[in-house]
């Protein structure tokens, strides 16, 4: 599968390709390919490279497959704290560059390029187990074509890109670890709750509440 574009990784000097994103995610699909295009468009609009730390922040409005491409390509990850997921069920993403204080919002619109009507008609039958063998085969054929269509579609046909004003996202915090007074496991102090005058982890607190 060919990648229409790729982003240079300043650390390794190599290019991050769609194939590498597929390897990270586990399979190729419409969500991953659209996330790949979103990531490239956002980095291009902001004029940034893949960050080593929190220089770039991504705010995703979905928790779908596209988020894995965002992590892989932009370097915005949950572990570094520069990936924020607000699961509104929308394929919309905002990227904030701390160095320039600029932010760009990218929203996908694939209706013009994908065979939506036929796929939407087949989807209920396929996922309910009522599709015929021919319908299953046709749905797979259409699904297999989706990533290639998205990867090679003109940017202006599938993405709405706009600069937005926003406050800088809070930087990730590193918390002190303490021992939960109930289970004995270590937990970030800011993530504990008070129970009978002692600090306990959230699961232990919930367990106590449900007794």
Query: What pLDDT sits at residue 193?
Result: 93
Query: What pLDDT sits at residue 15?
Result: 66
CB-based contacts of 199, cutoff 8 Å, min separation 6: 178, 180, 181, 189, 192, 193
Domain definitions of the chain by residue range: 7-164, 177-209
Cα–Cα distances in angstroms (integers) from residue 69 to residues 9, 16, 40, 72, 144, in the given order: 14, 10, 10, 5, 18
CATH of 7-164, picked from 3.40.50.2020, 3.30.1330.130, 2.60.40.3470, 3.30.930.10, is 3.30.1330.130
The secondary element (H helix, E strand) that includes residue 195 is strand 193-195
Select from 176, 183, 180, 184 the least CA-distant residue to 194.
Answer: 180
For the stretch 56-66, pLDDT in tens is: 999 999 999 99
- In which band, very low, low, confident or very high, does the pLDDT at 5 lie, cut at 50, 70 and 90? low
Taking domain 177-209, whether its CATH number is 3.10.450 is answered by: no
Instruction: Report yes or no on whether pTM surpasses 0.85.
Output: no
Query: What pLDDT sits at residue 1?
Result: 43
pLDDT above 70 covers what percent of the chain? 93
CB 70 within 8 A of CB 93: yes
- Helical spans, DSSP H, in 75-159: 116-128, 133-152, 155-158
Select from 41, 27, 110, 29 the least CA-distant residue to 73.
Answer: 41
DSSP string, 43-87: HHHHT-PPPSSSSEEEEES--STHHHHHHHHH---TTTT-EEE--
> Phi-psi category of 178—alpha, beta or left, where left has phi over 0 and alpha has psi -120 to 50?
beta
Q: Give 171 or 106, the one with higher predicted confidence.
A: 106
Query: What pLDDT sits at residue 72?
Result: 94
Whether pLDDT at 76 is above 70 = yes
Query: What pLDDT sits at residue 2?
Result: 43
Query: What pLDDT sits at residue 10?
Result: 46
For the stretch 113-171, pLDDT in tens is: 988 888 889 999 999 999 999 999 999 998 899 999 999 999 999 999 999 999 998 88
Q: Which range, of 80-84, 98-102, 169-173, averages the lowest pLDDT?
A: 169-173
Paired with 86 in beta bridges are none
CA gap 91, 111 in Å, rounded: 13
The secondary element (H helix, E strand) that includes residue 132 is none
Cα–Cα distances in angstroms (integers) from residue 140 to residues 30, 145, 194, in the given order: 12, 9, 52
CB 191 within 8 A of CB 179: no
């Amino acid at each position: 599968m060919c990648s229409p574009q790729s982003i240079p990784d300043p650390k390794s000097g190599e290019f991050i390709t769609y194939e590498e994103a597929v390897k990270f995610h586990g399979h190729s699909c419409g969500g991953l390919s659209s996330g790949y295009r979103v990531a490239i468009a956002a980095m291009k609009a902001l004029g940034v490279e893949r960050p080593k730390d929190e220089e770039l922040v991504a705010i995703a409005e979905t928790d779908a497959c596209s988020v894995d491409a965002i992590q892989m390509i932009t370097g915005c990850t949950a572990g570094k704290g520069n990936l924020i997921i607000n699961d509104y069920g929308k394929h919309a993403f905002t990227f904030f560059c701390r160095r320039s204080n600029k932010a760009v919002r990218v929203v996908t619109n694939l209706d013009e390029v994908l065979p939506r009507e036929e796929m939407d008609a087949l989807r209920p039958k396929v996922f309910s187990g009522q599709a015929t063998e021919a319908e299953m085969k046709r749905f797979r054929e259409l699904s297999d074509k989706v990533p290639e269509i998205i990867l090679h579609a003109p940017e202006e046909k599938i993405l709405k890109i706009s600069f937005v004003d926003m406050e800088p996202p809070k930087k990730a915090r590193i918390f002190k670890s303490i021992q939960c007074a109930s289970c004995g496991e270590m937990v970030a102090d800011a993530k504990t709750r008070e129970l009978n005058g002692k600090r306990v982890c959230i699961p232990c607190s919930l367990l106590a509440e449900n007794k």
